[in-house]
A = this chain, B = another copy of it.
């Protein structure tokens, strides 16, 4: 199991072909290209005044994030991204 620290999130990016399925089409000429993915693990949250503030996203959420956000890791054969929750723009529900 991979457990991100603090306000970090592990995301499995969704390939561009799948992207249309959820209704999101990423413009080619976007100033800052976002990307879609699925949250596979979330950190325990940011520490504020001695308490952990839970993250807004949860495991299984489909999210849009800034394309150049995060660090790539390969884990159990999957290419994953570890990024801060603040790099996630929106949840698709």
A23 to B79 alpha-carbon distance, docked (Å): 12
Q: Are A93 and B5 in contact (CB under 8 A)?
A: no
In the complex, chain B residues whose CB is within 8 Å of the CB of A71: 30-32, 34, 66, 89
CB contact list, A37-52 vs B, under 8 A: 41, 44, 47-51
In the complex, chain B residues whose CB is within 8 Å of the CB of A41: 90
Asked if A14 is an interface residue, CB under 8 A from chain B, the answer is no
In the complex, chain B residues whose CB is within 8 Å of the CB of A89: 4-5, 8, 71, 73, 82
Residue of B whose beta carbon sits closest to that of A90 = B4
CB contact list, A1-48 vs B, under 8 A: 1-6, 8, 10, 23-27, 30-32, 34, 41, 44, 47-48
Copies in the complex: 7
Q: Are A31 and B74 in contact (CB under 8 A)?
A: no
Chain A positions 61 through 93: 1 when the CB is less than 8 Å from some CB of chain B, otherwise 0: 000101010011111110100100110111111
